[in-house]
Structure 1
Amino acid sequence: MDNQSKGKRGEALAEAYLVEHGYWILARRYRCQRGENDLIAQRGNTLCFCEVKARSGLRYGSGAEAVTRTKRFAATQAAMHYLMEHPHQGPLRFDVLEVDLSTGQVQHIPSAFEAVLD
């Protein structure tokens, strides 16, 4: 399975997990010129910008460890762009969902990182 297929499978498993746990999916693969959010979800009044990291195991570290400062900056830029198009008055957070493709298990890390503005 190539990386793009792994990513899509991981995102589908993460989305199913979020829906099962009471989240509404507002956007998938939201992109702007400066960044991307894999999933944008909402539960209650909290808006979650989600980074999905799919792995076949822990050989290369956890998915959360793969969310570099550059990736956090890009996710922040995409979130700001989304908020300009879709204003939101409630709480915001950046989550990471680690997906183990060998087992299908999803580990959800709410508020995994803070916004990176520079």
Structure 2
Amino acid sequence: MSTRDKRLGDWGEQKAAQHLLEKGYQIVARNFRWARGEIDIVAQKANMLVFVEVKTASSINMGDPSTWVTPKKQSQIAQVAQKFLFDYAITDQDCRFDVIGVLKTASSYRLQHIENAFWLHQNE
């Protein structure tokens, strides 16, 4: 990943975290890493633990960032989420997977928050 892409991704994650805070979420963790991948943001609202994948683009020509979370990526995120729950001994917790797409334009940005973007299947 180029330095420019990394900066854009970090910028998008910051905008996503800011959005979540404004919507009443508490940020539990950012960039939780495990050998199999990473979860950009772990947030909590009421009794719901939310694993958030953030996708950022700088051009509409790249397509909608929220569509970039492929089934393979969903499976990877679900595995990392299970590791997070195990590491922090979290049991009997309602969880969901959200995607936040951020499109940066020359003078502003557009953010799309998709709640329940995908589900953790028992065989993951």
**TM bin (shorter chain):** over 0.9
Number of aligned residues = 118
Paired position in structure 1 for 2:58: 56
Distance 2:60 2:10 in 1: 19
Map 1:1-118; keep pairs closer than 5 Å: 2-86=4-88, 87-102=90-105, 103-115=108-120, 117-118=123-124
Tell me the SS of whatever aligns to 1:59.
helix
CA RMSD of aligned residues (A): 1.5
Tell me the SS of whatever aligns to 2:53.
strand
Shift in Å at residue 89 of structure 1? 2.4
Q: Which moved more, 1:31-40 or 1:44-53?
A: 31-40
Segments of 5+ residues of structure 2 without an aligned counterpart are none
Shift in Å at residue 67 of structure 1? 0.4
Of the two, which has the highest radius of gyration?
Answer: 2
Distance 1:40 1:25 in 2: 6
Percentage of matched positions with identical amino acids: 36
Shift in Å at residue 81 of structure 1? 0.3
- TM normalised by structure 1 equals 0.92
Segments of 5+ residues of structure 1 without an aligned counterpart are none
CA offset digits 1:55-111 (Å, max 9, x no partner): 113212111211012211110111000000220423110000011111223211000
- TM normalised by structure 2 equals 0.88
Distance 1:36 1:80 in 2: 12
